[in-house]
Amino acid sequence: MGTQVRTAIITGASQGIGLACAKRLHRDGCRVFGFDINKPSSQGLEVSEFTEFTEFLIVDVSDSSACKDAMSKVGQVDILVNSAGIVGPNMPFWEVSDQDWSRTLDINLTGTFNMMRAVVAQMRERKWGRIINIASIAGKEGNPNLAAYSASKAAVIGLTKSVGKELATDGVLVNSIAPAVISTPMNEKTAPQVLEYMISRIPMSRVGQPEEVAALVSWLASDECSFSTGACYDISGGRATY
């Protein structure tokens, strides 16, 4: 990344993949802002653990106005990592309530859209930007009893492909990542039988680590990533390689 200091926003930064990405990009020399709907302390973490962030902001990404307001506090943004997300209802799709369906899509899909829209104008103006959306292997293959989650992540992949093509000549690269099961607090709430099913589909026969995802994000956020946009990168232990 040279001597230029890039500014990065990581959503869902209080835990899991988001926290790992924030720490990795800080280590890469970025100025990092962590966005999350929860305070770090509410996740069992100490605020002192976030000293690497220039600032930690409470932001509900499903609220477009909140996203725009937060941007006014950050200023220039070079890198956006959309990691905020929820698993949503874990049950047969016909039992999913309207509220749970809407909430899952509002956070996982609309939240990603809101943040992308909030940063893209300034990235286009400077002719440089990196947007990385955390999707899921469920968005490629679908996981039974996780219809809302699978649908939302498939839509994130489609959104990434569409916007990546729109911005292909603007210097703004937009890519997504499709992790399989990653060892995060979010997956601690997944039903054991569902977790067992998902791990059984992974040829490496293990869950991934947040730091492994963050390493891929680090490259996608860098100058070295220069001829890839609108793509979905596998990080699933071999479960899906397309």
Active site residues: 149
Which class for 240: exposed (0-12), middle (13-18), buried (19 or more C-beta within 10 A)?
middle
Q: What's the chain's length in residues?
A: 242
C-alpha radius of gyration, the chain, whole number: 17
Q: Are 180 and 153 in contact (CB under 8 A)?
A: no
Both structure tokens of 177: 């990542």
Both structure tokens of 73: 């506090």
Q: CA-CA distance, 205 to 44, in Å (whole number)? A: 29
Q: CA-CA distance, 84 to 88, in Å (whole number)? A: 13
For residue 238, give the 3-state DSSP assignment: coil
Q: Are 33 and 10 in contact (CB under 8 A)?
A: yes
Q: Which helix (H) or strand (E) holds 10?
A: strand 7-11
Q: Are 59 and 37 in contact (CB under 8 A)?
A: yes
Count Cα atoms within 13 angstroms, Cβ side, for 116: 26
Q: What b/e sequence results for 46-66 when a residue is b if at least 16 CB atoms lie within 10 Å of its CB, and e otherwise? A: eeeebeebeebbebbbbbbeb
